[in-house]
Amino acid sequence: MKYISTRGATAHKSFSEVLLMGLAPDGGLMLPEAYPQIDAATLEKWRGLNYPELAFEIISLFATDIPAADLRDIINRTYTAEAFGNAEITPVRTLSDGLKIQALSNGPTLAFKDMAMQFLGNAFEYVLAKESRELNILGATSGDTGSAAEYALRGKKGINVFMLSPEGRMSAFQRAQMFSLQDENIHNIAVKGMFDDCQDIVKAVQNDAAFKEKYHIGTVNSINWGRIVAQVVYYFAGYFKTTQSNSEKVSFCVPSGNFGNICAGHIARQMGLPVGRLIVATNENDVLDEFFKTGAYRPRSADHTHVTSSPSMDISKASNFERFVFDLIGRNSSGIQVLWAEVGAGKGFDLSFLLDKVHQQYGFVSGKSLHADRLKTIRQVYGQDGELIDPHTADGVKVAREVRQNGETVVCLETALAAKFESTIREAVGNVAVPRPAALQGLENLPQRVRVLPNNAEIVKEFISETLEK
């Protein structure tokens, strides 16, 4: 399988090549030339598979340049009961009102990003070893992404991670999660500044081509194709767990920010998985809800991004959205160039003439959930089902209940565990004990390893080069 860029000006690439890529050189996002089509007989055969077997069948359709035995090994080492808390990997449960919840949040950092990042860590290590290459990941995080990357890449050969975070701005739990890692290849850097300052430093380093080249600097952000492809798997797994036969349809409701998670749902649907609707749930940052209701995409600037109690959805420019629009407009690269030139100029675009197609052909609908909705939903689920859901999942549950139709099976993706967001949980339900997986008891008491640096790209570069030259 060959990969192309949404902007049409990048030479075709193999899976191993796109795996290590961020943005395409033409500014676009990489996608397969065509989505593999799953026929009824294959779908029937897959129904009986366990998670790693299913992951192998699906990923092997995309990773055609990795020998089957190697890919199987990477996947078997990734989706284990030890890493994901149980052998089912993404178990599905049913709330008392019939809504299904698929748990994607039982990985090492208790958020759905582990589902893809754990695969990426092993796949990176494999490709780098094969090509005798090294990679030094530089990233900025305000919480979830950084920890998922560190837990995926800790101890991996040929890889170092330099993760910038704003000093004193993450929760005690998030700090403990990242800074307690003692692996030699993980380097936490607390910057005396805000999250945006951390991002600016990453950009400054990326823009220094000589430095980037000399020190093999790379990233793992949400546009990485390897992450999307690993996420396709759990839509199939969720479908099989909630149906008896392949004549049934299932809708998925997805708490969304960068559109990475639900983009994988779109791809699963395009491959032929009988998905009914794809329900996009946003928080106060409703750029996607606006698009799916009106057809107008109007990304907001960073200073118009609300800081909310579902922080991993605080995004006003959905980086993976370009992949869906590419399909929507008939895979027309020049069209994408025109539309994203408007986005780049701070304007956005209007595709209201395609809104019927968005709803009918692609199955997308949306809704939004505000702080008060989130608290109310957490409280309701706690009252009715005796369980605590995290604020992001609560946004999904709120929207799913709102748009669900009679007879429609809706699976809401659980994107984090409540344990990560204790203060919002307490705000919703009062002073209850928020359950935490046994492995994370006492996390905050472990010794921490972090380097505090000033808000200065040159000093961060010095730290990187000194560390790598030691």
- For residue 281, report the phi and psi dihedrals to the nearest 5 degrees: -110, 125
Q: Is 448 exposed, middle or buried (0-12, 13-18, 19+ CB in 10 A)?
A: middle
Strand spans (E) along 19-109: 30-32, 92-94, 100-103
Q: Indicate which single residue of 312, 316, 366, 380 sits in contact with ligand PLP (rule: CB under 6 A).
A: 312
Using the rule CB under 6 A, is 225 a contact of ligand PLP? no
Nearer Cβ to ligand PLP (178/205): 178
Whose tokens are 């409703």? That residue is 286
Nearer Cβ to ligand PLP (181/413): 413
Using the rule CB under 6 A, is 259 a contact of ligand PLP? yes
Using the rule CB under 6 A, is 255 a contact of ligand PLP? yes
From edge to edge, which strands make up the β-sheet containing 217-218? 217-218, 135-140, 159-166, 186-191, 451-453
Closest approach of ligand PLP to the CB of residue 266, in Å? 12
Nearer Cβ to ligand PLP (187/420): 420
Q: Which stretch binds ligand PLP (CB under 6 A): 48-56, 114-122, 249-257, 428-436?
A: 249-257
Using the rule CB under 6 A, is 32 a contact of ligand PLP? no
How far apart are the C-alpha atoms of 88 and 115, rounded to whole Å?
Answer: 13
List 13, 100, 113, 368, catalytic entry: 113
Using the rule CB under 6 A, is 222 a contact of ligand PLP? yes
Strand pairing class (30-32; 3-5):
antiparallel
Using the rule CB under 6 A, is 260 a contact of ligand PLP? yes
Using the rule CB under 6 A, is 142 a contact of ligand PLP? no
The CA-CA-CA angle for residues 155, 171, 379, to 5°, reads 115
Instruction: Please indicate whether residue 192 is annotated as part of the active site.
Output: no
Residue 259 has which token pair?
Answer: 């559109």
Binding mask 99-118 for ligand PLP (x = CB under 6 A): ------------xxx-----
Of the candidates 21, 12, 439, which has an alpha carbon nearest to the alpha carbon of residue 223? 21
Nearer Cβ to ligand PLP (99/111): 111
Using the rule CB under 6 A, is 261 a contact of ligand PLP? yes
**Size of the residue set binding ligand PLP (CB under 6 A):** 17
Residue 170 has which token pair?
Answer: 């993450």
Of the candidates 184, 188, 162, 187, which has an alpha carbon nearest to the alpha carbon of residue 175? 188
- Quick one: which H or E segment has residue 163? strand 159-166
User: Which residues in the 400-439 window bind ligand PLP by CB under 6 A?
Assistant: 415-416
How far apart are the C-alpha atoms of 83 and 74, rounded to whole Å?
Answer: 14
Using the rule CB under 6 A, is 230 a contact of ligand PLP? no
Using the rule CB under 6 A, is 291 a contact of ligand PLP? no
CA distances from 58 to 233, 246, 265, 339, 406 (A): 7, 17, 13, 32, 32
Using the rule CB under 6 A, is 316 a contact of ligand PLP? no
Using the rule CB under 6 A, is 144 a contact of ligand PLP? yes
Q: Which stretch binds ligand PLP (CB under 6 A): 31-39, 51-59, 179-187, 253-261?
A: 253-261
Closest approach of ligand PLP to the CB of residue 391, in Å? 8
Catalytic residues: 113
Residues that bind ligand PLP (CB under 6 A): 111-113, 144, 222, 255-261, 312-313, 392, 415-416
